[in-house]
A and B are shown apart, each in its own frame.
Chain A
Amino acid sequence: MTNDILVFAEVREGSFKRINAELVSAASVLVDKLGGVVHIAVLGGAVDGAVEEARSYATGKVYVVKSDVLDSYSTQGFASGLEAVLKECDPAIVLFGATAMGKDLSTRVAARARGSLMTDCTELDVEDGALKAKRPVYSGKAYADVITTKATIKMASLRPNIYPAAQKTGNLADVAEVSLPITLDQIGAMVKEIVVTSAGRKDVTEAEIIVAGGRSLKSEDNFKILEELADVLGASVGASRAAVDAGYAPHSRQVGQTGKVVNPKLYIACGISGAIQHLVGMRTSKVIVAINKDPNAPIFQHANYGIVGDLFEIVPIMTQQFKELLAS
């Protein structure tokens, strides 16, 4: 086994996702202690653009598995390709994004390699050859400190928006082509279509700014005032479970337990009281702004800035002022 780290690069619609550069940044800190280099694995059908992008980040090699079989994502196809890369590259650690794709693939690959896997990590470190991680448990109500205990290959998935995106190295890494050892007929599940549900808007898990609403929005229609604010800020729109259960917003936007965990720079909670189930999903946001009529709402105990007032009055003023600010 080498002292190197392999980053699995997520490529969607041919483009190299931001999380990949965040993983490189996390990997750089770890390899400094291990004394190895950072390799990147790029798998897919049409991935030439992503490979070029990866070459500007890797301090080791870019391992490429290019095949028509990987045109659409399949767990078995990608796991097989990554397994072939692992044989060539023999890294100590493999990092994935804690995304739908990263989580789908990492477990399959870790199980196959008889390695270790820590999912959804928020901190990573190495000590005496072991990989150490901090990861949220009990839906984000506490953290567990986990270490690897065996010499087998170590894998982890890292939450988005925790590490800054790495700087490009200024060089272009060498490419190593690896052939795919699986054929279409050996794959039992394959993506046949992707339905975009949040056209033009980032998913809440990937957003840097989120404007979120609770049940006090009172209707699906009223969410428009949050949409308007979000448009000005280039933000995503989130919702509390109460708002989703009332039918004001789709479940894909739900933040908190039984929804998504988010980690933006700025979270603007509008008419959200701050039930524990919601707080666990957004508490790690860098800055939280709360707008609520009730001065005793628990959300204020977690916010950096609080406005006690009517969101229907405050939010449009915010939209107006941000618009003026960002236009200037």
Chain B
Amino acid sequence: MKIGVLVKNVPDTETKIRLTADKQGIETQGVKYVMNTYDEFAVEEALKIRERLQDGTTVTAITLGPERVVETLRTALAMGADEAIHVDDPAFEGGDSLTNARIIARVVEPMGLDLILGGKQGIDYDAAQTCSALAEALGTAQALIAVELKWSEDNQSLEVRRRIEGGDEIVHVKLPAVISCEKGLNEPRYASLPGIMKAKKKEIKKVDLTGVGLDSAEVGASGSATRVVGYSPLSERPECRILEGEPVEIVKELVRALREDAKVL
């Protein structure tokens, strides 16, 4: 089986997000970039499939972005991916998810992948569009927010358990397919020290605008139908009223306030 894994380099979950003075972006100074949390589940799942099949299955990590994102490809290689592809060109700058998915589609199409895994969303822009848009561009099946994969005997189809409101959907999926991964799917491994050393030496394949065969007007900001015009901070919350006294009295006052002042009951 040929497996592709989409990975993204994003600010660590612990990051305090501060906006730049002109509100056009976030302060990147001091921000630690790591592999997107959900992509770790995708890499792990791909490696587990390769380990189970033992048939020469390959795992290729793919990312799109500026030079700094190479670090996330190294992380994927250190975890055990066989190959890595870095899709980058100055013309790609400012592209939205649908546009970037079209670029990635051009890269993966000739690879003849059976399965593409990715995180359920990037924890930076939280658009949750890339996997689905890629499936559309490739004309394959999709299953998003997967928490369990159960394979058929011939490994040509699988049942994906995916999270929905109030329960799970069991989706029967035929390969080729794109599947996005949710927390709970597996426990991502840590890269081993030998793995990290080996990953440093591995060649990372580069693909640019010419490589994907698209016109510069079709990619980046000019190719995208949406644009971020600015960022705003979270709204302030009202000051907290601490209720004091005996527990029964406090609760009585809380119930009254929720009903009469806040009018939420």
Contacts and interface: CB of A to CB of B under 8 A. Distances in A.
Interface of A: 73, 75-76, 79, 99-101, 103-104, 107-108, 110-112, 114-120, 134-150, 152, 154, 187-198, 201-203, 205-206, 209, 233, 251-252, 254, 257-259, 265-266, 276-277, 283, 286-290, 295, 300-309, 313-314, 317-318, 321-322, 325
15 contacts: A99-B164, A115-B225, A138-B17, A147-B229, A148-B226, A154-B225, A188-B176, A191-B172, A233-B265, A251-B183, A254-B183, A258-B13, A302-B240, A305-B254, A314-B247
B174 interface: yes
Nearest to A99: B165
Which of the listed residues B129, B243, B248, B251 has the most CB atoms from chain A within 10 Å of its own CB? B251
Interface residues of B, number: 85
B200 interface: no
Interface string B2-37: 000000000101111101000000100000000001
Majority secondary structure of chain A interface residues (helix, strand, loop or mixed): mixed
Which of the listed residues B15, B127, B161 has the most CB atoms from chain A within 10 Å of its own CB? B127
A300 B234 CA distance: 17
B177 A147 contact: no
Interface in B217-265: 224-234, 237-238, 240-244, 247-248, 250-252, 254-255, 257-259, 262, 264-265
Contacts of B127: 119-120
Contact of A189 (B19, B123, B133, B143): B143
A301 B13 CA distance: 21
Interface in B154-193: 159-174, 176-177, 183-184
B41 to A, nearest CB: 10
B124 interface: yes
Contacts of B257: 305
Contact of B240 (A119, A251, A286, A290): A290
Contacts of A209: 264
A108 B132 contact: yes
B136 A107 contact: yes
Nearest to B125: A137
B225 A143 contact: no
Nearest to B162: A100
A143 B226 CA distance: 15
A258 B170 contact: no
Contact of A286 (B167, B241, B247, B264): B264
